[in-house]
Amino acid sequence: MSNCPCGSGQTLETCCGPLIREGKPATSAVALMRSRYTAHVLGEYQYLNTSMYAPERSEDSIEDIKEWSSKLEWKGLDILSTSGGNENDTEGEVEFVAHYALSGVPQQLHEHSTFRKEGERWLYVDGKVRGHETYRREAPKVGRNEPCPCGSGKKFKKCCG
């Protein structure tokens, strides 16, 4: 018996294993999130596909999931926060950080995921990846050798640059 990769402290056989290998429904959005992380670690790509909400499922094929996930060395999962997603809820949100290495370089996936319950089954709907916001300039970038936008007639690098 080994510890579950999801970091719950339980064994794989008592935690995520039954969900992934026996089709047992997750009792909460967090349990589904943990099982999906474990499926990445174990290479259970079919489970990752079938645990997605049906309209979203067609966007990511099993081969697409495998191509991305199999390149990574999964290192750990941190659940940061949850909202809803309990046994009697129909929707839930989970914010997590999945730690991994790509070509030996440590990385992390920080995501805010949404889940929906259909019947007795929790399903992954989608997620918004958290990270650095893209910087957008208000005006076009001025090159070093272009005229300075201040109107001095000098090159930008000799004036305001």
**pLDDT for the residue numbered 132:** 55
Per-residue confidence (pLDDT) for residue 158, from 0 to 100: 78
Residue 146: per-residue pLDDT: 79
Spatial distance between the Cα atoms of 92 and 17, rounded to a whole number of angstroms = 22
What pLDDT score was predicted for residue 84? 97
pLDDT at 145: 77
| pLDDT attached to residue 139 | 67
Do residues 104 and 115 touch, judged by C-beta distance below 8 A?
Answer: no
| Domains identified in the chain and CATH numbers | 12-130 (3.10.450.50)
Amino acid code (one letter) for 55: P
Coarse DSSP helix, strand, coil percentages of the chain, rounded to the nearest 5 percent: 25, 35, 40
Q: Which residue is associated with the tokens 């076009």?
A: 140
Amino acid (1-letter code) at residue 71: K
Task: Give me the pLDDT at residue 19, please.
Answer: 97
Contact in structure between 4 and 15 (CB atoms under 8 Å): yes
Note the pLDDT of residue 98: 96
For residue 35, which amino acid is it? S
Q: Which residues pair with 108 in a beta bridge?
A: 99
Indicate the DSSP class of residue 99: E
| Predicted TM-score (pTM) of this structure | 0.79
| pLDDT of the residue at 148 | 79
3-state SS, residue 13: coil
Q: Output phi, psi for 125, to 5 deg.
A: -95, -60
71: left (phi over 0), alpha (psi -120 to 50) or beta: alpha
Residue pLDDT tens, the chain, 161 long: 689 999 999 999 999 999 999 999 999 999 999 999 999 999 999 999 999 998 777 667 889 889 999 999 999 999 999 999 999 999 999 999 999 999 999 999 999 999 999 999 999 999 999 875 555 666 677 777 778 777 787 777 778 77
105-118 and 121-130 beta bridge pairing: antiparallel
